[in-house]
Structure 1
Amino acid sequence: CDSQERFTSVAAEWPGSVHDSRIWRRSPVRDIISRYDGAACLLGDSGYGISPWLITPFKPPQTDIQRRFNRVHAKERVVIERVFGQLKKRFPILGNCVRLSLDRVPKVIVTCTVLHNVAKHLRDPLNFEDDANEDGCNEDEGGEEVFENQATKQRGEQKRNEMLGFI
């Protein structure tokens, strides 16, 4: 993702059990950025191997400057974790109980990331009163419908209707 909390690359075709470093090794992004031999770089966690184009934290840090570097590194990397949280909050279908056939899941993931980027571009606020439950599966329990205003409700319905074409 970028500093504007938008996804810049999505690899949705891999099962969740595949380690991130394996996906990275086979990533077209890695192939492209490695051609610049460090002129551009990404930040990775300590589960990745360090390279000129993928900077990981010191493991373990030995000096104060290394510890400070690791703090700055972690502060910058937290952006992607926050963006994943926003994505799951915006699209509860991405929780732990996706009820779709496996061949449709990658398309749904990519669709949700594209719609997330559109929402970011339009500065659509992400402040839902009711968060999804821990596993991301909200069962419809009925009750009174709650929304901020009519325009917000209509935008939500429009997004939901647009997503129907991809499911």
Structure 2
Amino acid sequence: MFTSVDVSWPGSVHDSRIWRNPQTRSQLINKANLVLLGDDGYAIGPCLMTPFRNPTPGAEINYNKLLKQKRVIIECCFGQLKRRFPILQYVCRVKLENVPKIIIACIVLHNVAKILGDADFDLVEQDPDEDEGNHENGELPLRQLGQQIRRKYYNK
């Protein structure tokens, strides 16, 4: 579920620019026990953890792996949202001033669907040609085995 959304910035603005905005940053810095996870496009700060650049073997590499594992969660949430509402994947052909309203509406409906237990979009996105694999040379069974393994690790 999405708990905080800001649609007041145009899509071409980089996330790190939004983070540098004093109003955005101050709202989050003043929260106790809050740590945000960022990618290497951000500068590290008291409540913004970023990966090590050129990590040394051991703890720094392990930290980077853990950070990446946790950050992928939000990417999966965006993927679910876009699968549920394809208008968010493609060109939105409406007046520019209506785009933020559409985004908020999609997020609210997504959260309602989650609350109501709509599991249709909780699954790993399946390839459109999943059942049309090449049956020659045993490729279909190998593909199915690969998909099973991928689902096993995705659902951990």
1:1-167 equivalent positions in 2, closer than 5 A: 6-26=1-21, 28-36=23-31, 39-127=33-121
Q: More helix by proportion, 1 or 2?
A: 2
1:116, distance to aligned residue in structure 2 (A) = 0.8
Distance 1:69 1:52 in 2: 17
CA contact (8 A) 1:44 1:56 kept: yes
- Range that drifts further, 107-116 or 119-128: 119-128
Distance 1:26 1:35 in 2: 14
**4+ aligned runs moved over 4 Å, structure 1:** none
Distance 2:112 2:23 in 1: 23
Match of 1:21, SS?
A: helix
Distance 1:24 1:108 in 2: 23
1:18, distance to aligned residue in structure 2 (A) = 0.7
Deviations 1:95-153 (A, max 9, x none): 1211111000001001111111111111102259x98x9xxxxxxxxxxxxxxxxxxxx
- Normalised to the residue count of structure 2, the TM-score between the two structures is 0.72
Distance 2:25 2:117 in 1: 30
Distance 1:53 1:83, change over 3 A: same
1:29, distance to aligned residue in structure 2 (A) = 4.8
Structure 2 alignment gaps of length 5 or more: 129-156
Q: Name the structure, 1 or 2, with higher relative contact order (CA <8 Å, separation 6+).
A: 1
Distance 2:99 2:34 in 1: 32
Deviations 1:38-60 (A, max 9, x none): 73211111111111111111112
- Normalised to the residue count of structure 1, the TM-score between the two structures is 0.68
Structure 1 alignment gaps of length 5 or more: 1-5, 134-167
Percent identity of equivalent pairs: 49
CA contact (8 A) 1:49 1:56 kept: yes
Match of 1:103, SS?
A: helix
1:66, distance to aligned residue in structure 2 (A) = 0.5
